[in-house]
A and B are shown apart, each in its own frame.
Chain A
Amino acid sequence: MQGTIARRHRRLAAGITALALALALVGCSAGTPAPTNSEPAAEMDFDVAQDGFLTIATYGSNPPVNIDNPDGTLGGIEGDLLNSFAEKYGLQVKLQPTTFASMILEVQQGRADMGLFVYWTEERAQTLYYSSALLKVPAVVFTEKGFDYEGPDSLAGEKIGVIVGQVWAELMQKELGEDALLFQSQPQAAQALLNGQIKGYVTGLTQMFNAPLSEHQDEIDAHELVDGDWNMPESVLQNTGYNVVSCENSALATALDEHLQEMIDSGTWEETFSALPDEFTVDETVPPTQGC
């Protein structure tokens, strides 16, 4: 068992170096604005919250999935997908920063058209309509560098941070009670980890590349969670992310799925993915079960 964790840990470290390189590439490609073509915009059969904009609720960058650039543009894999999608319909991508728990409400309530990279749960499916699967991201527990992590037991009795609304929050709270600290936002939890106020921080690996952790990568370690850690089912450990829209606006998800299919057919989607390391696997699963 211990061997497995150690091996996983090594693999993760190697992947992270590769990912840093990949991010540089993805970041570059996202930074260049798409050339404006004079093609007439495709006809929209979905609604948008604000005319002329594709309003996207985001809870911060999740490199390489989505990178929220300081100038308000979207980068990362989501950038590749959504910038070209918006352009096709004559829309402009507009980021609406919020917290994770609020993001889903913003989409449900129609303040934003789309939420980025959300896992599937039965409860969420009743209020959100899911797009096609994008990719899988491993769940990790971040610790400070050099912490002798040998599974959850090594963190017994310590405070562990989670993000309100993320799938791990409820499970960790049930398991740890008041040792699970519920943070409103990811930068807050990351800051608390860097401060030494929490000993572990459970979230997706992508946060490694988001500020403030991205600035302190040499001070932290990421340990991939395995089946049964804190009694969590495997389904929340290697989880597939989807973009979500409100139930009333499912046509938007359908249009996005069509666009994604076009990108896959033309080979551009493969280009986007080719630079990614193993940790982020492309998900070939069937579309999620819609609960709307």
Chain B
Amino acid sequence: MIWPDWDTLASWLELMLAGLVVTLKLSFLTTVLTIILGSLSALGAVSTSRTVRIISRVYVDLFRSVPILALMIIFYFGFGPWLSEWGIDTFTLALAALSLSSGAYLSEVYRGAIQSVPRSQWRAAESLGLGHFAILRFAVIPQVIPPLVPLTLNAVISIVKNSSLASLITVNELTLSGTMAVSLSFMPMQVYLLLGAMYAAIILPLIFAAGRLERWVNRRYGLVSARLKPTMAMRTYASAAGLGRRDR
């Protein structure tokens, strides 16, 4: 394998650092939107209104089923004529596709957490005269938030990884800058290794943070997180936190 000379390496880094900024921006905005969407949809799923519950269900089922890349392609090429009239660029489209998809996953995680709180607690709170929202606000949500922090962090990891798909609909993020570098230098192994290293540099700290946080939460809020552990959607992200490490 030939190693690139310094000039070549510098030209790659110049391209890729610009891409890195876009990846970070895209991931950050997606995270914010995902948390908002996931929370709203989870609250909708436990709503007292049947209509709201159905809307939440349809949203989750639809966006969980369609692959993110398919969403991006369909948004961009399928609905293109209308979206471009509204001045929506590819960055925004990628942001929408990533957020809608991750939001559906996170909604399942949050819903599972809310529903893991035993009915007895709901009844106890109801007997105190609290309404649906008050129970959620004062009794349920405060106790599920700590265990949800590491799980949300795992969603962030998936978001950063999935943001690479935006390269395929012309968003000039890290992966596309790598592809550009390859198309100019024809050293795919070297460029993609560098690319992998750059992603690892963002994601490894997140993985370690998620793992630490999860162990800390388990120590501090053992009972609550034990109830949370087996919900299905969580398993989608669970792996990233090293589920079960504490059991040893």
Contact = CB atoms under 8 A, between A and B. Distances in A.
A192 B182 CA distance: 24
For chain A, give the interface size range: 20 to 34
Nearest to A178: B172
A197 to B, nearest CB: 4
B183 A164 contact: yes
Contacts of B95: none
A105 B190 CA distance: 13
B85 A196 contact: yes
A123 B176 contact: no
Nearest to A195: B80
B172 A123 contact: no
B180 A127 contact: no
B176 A164 contact: yes
B188 A183 contact: no
B185 interface: yes
B84 to A, nearest CB: 4
Contacts of B176: 164, 182
Nearest to A198: B84
Contacts of B90: 181
A259 interface: no
A184 B168 contact: yes
A105 B77 contact: no
Given A164-B180, A169-B180, A197 B186 contact: no
Interface in B132-190: 168, 170, 172, 176, 179-180, 182-186, 188
A184 B77 CA distance: 13
B21 to A, nearest CB: 11
Interface in A183-211: 183-184, 188, 191-192, 195-197
B105 interface: no
A108 B186 contact: yes
A204 B49 CA distance: 58
A9 interface: no
Nearest to A124: B186
Nearest to B84: A197
B186 A195 contact: no
Contacts, number: 56
Given A181-B90, A182-B176, A192 B183 contact: no
Nearest to A161: B170
A192 B77 CA distance: 7
B80 A182 contact: no
A282 to B, nearest CB: 28
Interface residues of B, number: 21
A170 interface: yes
Nearest to A159: B89
Given A164-B180, A182-B172, A183-B170, A191 B186 contact: no
Contacts of B188: 105
A197 B168 contact: no
B170 A182 contact: yes
Given A101-B179, A159-B89, A184-B168, A196 B81 contact: yes
Contacts of A123: 184-186
Nearest to A104: B186
Contacts of A173: 172, 180
Interface in A88-146: 101, 104-105, 108, 123-124, 126-127
Contacts of B186: 104-105, 108, 123-124, 126-127
Contacts of A196: 80-81, 84-85
A118 to B, nearest CB: 12
Contacts of B185: 123
A15 interface: no
B83 interface: yes
A165 interface: yes
B148 to A, nearest CB: 36
B84, B170, B186: residue with the most chain A Cβ atoms closer than 10 Å: B170
B76 interface: yes
Given A181-B90, A196-B85, A188 B182 contact: no
Given A170-B180, A197-B81, 17 more contacts: A104-B183, A105-B182, A105-B188, A123-B185, A164-B180, A164-B183, A170-B184, A173-B180, A178-B172, A188-B77, A191-B77, A191-B80, A192-B80, A195-B77, A195-B81, A196-B85, A197-B84
27 contacts: A101-B179, A105-B186, A108-B186, A123-B185, A123-B186, A124-B186, A127-B186, A161-B170, A164-B176, A164-B179, A164-B183, A165-B183, A169-B180, A170-B180, A181-B90, A181-B170, A182-B172, A182-B176, A182-B180, A192-B77, A192-B80, A195-B81, A195-B84, A196-B80, A196-B81, A196-B84, A197-B83
Interface of B: 76-77, 80-81, 83-85, 89-90, 168, 170, 172, 176, 179-180, 182-186, 188
10 tightest CB-CB pairs across the interface, nearest first? A195-B80, A165-B183, A197-B84, A181-B170, A101-B183, A127-B186, A195-B81, A196-B84, A197-B80, A191-B77
